[in-house]
Each structure stands twice: as structure tokens, then as C-alpha cells.
Amino acid sequence: MTQKAESGLDIDLGNRCSAIARGWAGKTHATREGRPGEHARQRGAAYSSILAFGGQRLAITSDGIGTKIERAERGRRYDTRGWDLGARGVDDLAANGVEPTNLTNILDVDRLDERVVDELMRGLHAAASFAGIALSGGEIAELGSRIGGWGEGMHFNWCATAIGVVPQGNEPVDGSAVAPGDAVVAVRSRGFRSNGFSLVRKVMTQAFGERWHEAPYEDGRSWGEVLLTPSLVVSPLVAKLQRQGIAPHGIAHITGGGIPDKLGRVLRARGHGVQLDELWEPLDFMQAVQRLGNVPDERAYRQWNMGNAMLLIVAPADVEPTLVLARELGYSARRAGSVHPEPVIRLRSKSAGGADLSYPVSEDGGKA
């Protein structure tokens, strides 16, 4: 569950339900002890479950693209949503230093539309090809009135499970190797990820009414088009870094809860913090949404990635090779800051507000 207070959802209830689910799941882990599928101990940031199969360690993670689908329905354009679905899974694996290998997907629809299914799957194929993974199974379920959505046409919910391998000779990345003096490299994002869209929608509806997607954005495109910007997939950068012998000490995939939550989870493994003076600027349209909604920087950084898709914590000597490789692979990356011993995330907002912000690295990863 992610922080959703801004969108009117009950965070505490969500956290309690997640805790209930985790509780029941945890009781089952002993059943695989000493057998294939045994859970590895995970003390730091767990973006995925690490499982041992003989000498091979795999990881698995499941997620959906949630309410972001509404953007496709409003724009009547579906071929970019596969990037969102793919990015969720493979970049969560990458954040644990896992090389993604395969992905399955389940598409729940109210009724079928061949053209829409084709566009969705074409996009997922493109994202999978980019990430170097195989689509290894899927299911389309017609659920009638159990599925709803915006406007006319086929409505759907879409989720996926990604698996991957911990490269031989490597340990999973979970933040436990983070040390004061380490550098933070920020990889630039292309837009909002799947999370935080409930707030985006609320802001847009208040600003432009129910048909906000038709409102013009300043560059001449409609807001609907602007917000269709697909997610960036960063996992190939992490995999290639590892193949070159560069082992990040911690990786934060910035999704729900933003940098305070997702980097906080990585930092709490050692109880350190960071000073981030040179994060990427939020994309122009992201800042425009923030302005429209009068969302203070402090909250915006808790809701959205604010221009940063992934933060890599590396040894100082690894900064330059990381930036060079990122450039070679077409990513925008830069040194954004460094690790200090105090358990606090301090960052200079790159939004118009420009405030100096501070978030605690608490027991529960900085969650409110």
C-alpha cells in the first residue's frame, strides 16, 4: 500500500490490511525451509521476495498498474500502458540487484475489444524487449460488471508478476552495504509512474472538470496526451552495471511514497541518511500538476517521483563509470548527493517551490 491521503484513501486502513496479508503469508514461509523456494533472509529494502532454488537465487514480485489505466481510457490510446506494467515489475527486481528474466500478466476486462488487447500487448512486448525479458504466460479474464472504468470501450485492470535471478557471485542489493560517503546517482524519469495517479486525477478534475484530458497543455498537446507518457524501464542499466563489476550498495525504485518512502527503505538497513542537492528537476508537466493542485513540495515528493525514476547508491569511485554507462545506454543520470550518518533524508526541492526538505529515515522506512 502506498500513501494515498491526498486522494482521500485511508492510509492507516491500507497499512493494516497489508499487515494482515503479510502476517498470513509469513506463517507459510517455514514450509519451504531447506527445500526449493526457500525464502532468503531479507533485512533491508525488499522490493521482491528472494527465493533459493538449489544454488540459484531467484526473485519474484507482483504488481498492477492501478488507476493509471484511466489515462489510457481517456486518451483512447493503449500502446504505452505495457511500459508502465513492465516497468513496475522489472525495476522492482532491479532495485534488489536482480536481473529480470520473465513476466506473466493477467488482464481482467469487462468485455473484450481485439484492437485494445492488441495495443496493450504490443506495448508490453516492446517493454519486455527493451528489458530483455520473456513474456512467459498470461491470462485474459472476462469479468463483466466486476470491472469498471472511464468512458466507453473496453475497461480493464492489468497486473503482472516478474521473476529474475540474482547474478551468480552477487548478493541481493538491499541497502545493507550503504556507508557514509557513498554517492547517490539519480536516473531521470519520463513522467508519473503508476503510483500517485489518484492525486493527479483529483487535481486535474478540480482544475478542468470531468473531461480534463481534453484541456490543452501549454505545449499544444492535450493533458490526456501529456499524461500518457510511458514509464521508463531502468533495469537494463542495473544489470549492465553488475556485469561490469559495479555493485550498487543500495537502489531505490521511486514509486508510491516517493523518495521519502522508497529511499527510506533502503537507508534504514544501516540507519544512515542522505543529502540530495542535485536531484533531477520534475518534468514541466509534473510541476504544472503540482501548481494546479497547490501541492506543497513536501507532499509532492511523498507522492511522485518528481523527475527521478531510480536512485543508485554507489561507492564514490563508481560514480563516473555509472554515469558513463548510463549515457551509453541512453539514460539521463547525474550525481545527486551523498550518504551521511544521520538517519534523515534532506533534499533540495527542484520544483518551483525550491524548499529544503527533510524526512526522517524511521523504523518503517519513513512512512507517515
Site for a second copy in 49-88 (CB under 8 A): 49, 51, 53-56, 58, 60-64, 66-67, 69-70
Instruction: Assess 145 for contact with a second copy (CB under 8 A).
Output: yes
Instruction: Assess 157 for contact with a second copy (CB under 8 A).
Output: yes
Instruction: Assess 28 for contact with a second copy (CB under 8 A).
Output: yes
Q: Which three cell numbers stand for residue 47?
A: 522490493
- Candidate residues 34, 35, 219, 220; the one interacting with a second copy per rule CB under 8 A: 35
Q: Contacts with a second copy: how many residues (CB under 8 A)?
A: 84
Interface segment toward a second copy; rule CB under 8 A; list 160-168, 264-272, 275-283, 311-319: 160-168
**Nearer to a second copy (CB atom), residue 69 or residue 185:** 69
Closest CA to 194 of 96, 330, 71: 71
**Residue numbers 162-181 binding a second copy by CB under 8 A:** 163-165
**Nearer to a second copy (CB atom), residue 98 or residue 313:** 98
Minimum Å gap between C-beta 364 and a second copy is 17
CA distance 219 to 166: 43
Give the CA angle between residues 82, 259, 202 to the nearest 5°. Answer: 65
Query: Which is it for strands 183-188 and 134-142: parallel, antiparallel or unpaired?
Result: unpaired
Element (H, E) at 139: strand 134-142
Interface segment toward a second copy; rule CB under 8 A; list 19-27, 184-192, 230-238, 302-310: 19-27
What is the residue whose three cell numbers read 528472494? 50
Q: Which three cell numbers stand for residue 328?
A: 551509453
Instruction: Assess 132 for contact with a second copy (CB under 8 A).
Output: yes
Minimum Å gap between C-beta 242 and a second copy is 13
- Candidate residues 5, 77, 108, 278; the one interacting with a second copy per rule CB under 8 A: 108
CA distance 122 to 181: 44
Q: Give the CA distances from residue 224 to residues 47, 116, 202, 228, 265, in Å, rounded to whole numbers and listed in that order.
A: 30, 17, 14, 6, 33
Instruction: Assess 142 for contact with a second copy (CB under 8 A).
Output: yes
**Nearer to a second copy (CB atom), residue 111 or residue 221:** 111
- Candidate residues 6, 44, 45, 48; the one interacting with a second copy per rule CB under 8 A: 48
Instruction: Assess 99 for contact with a second copy (CB under 8 A).
Output: yes
CA distance 281 to 295: 16
Contact between 47 and 95 (Cβ < 8 Å) = yes
- Candidate residues 72, 128, 319, 326; the one interacting with a second copy per rule CB under 8 A: 128
Instruction: Assess 136 for contact with a second copy (CB under 8 A).
Output: yes
For 210, residues 6+ apart whose C-beta sits below 8 A from its C-beta are: none
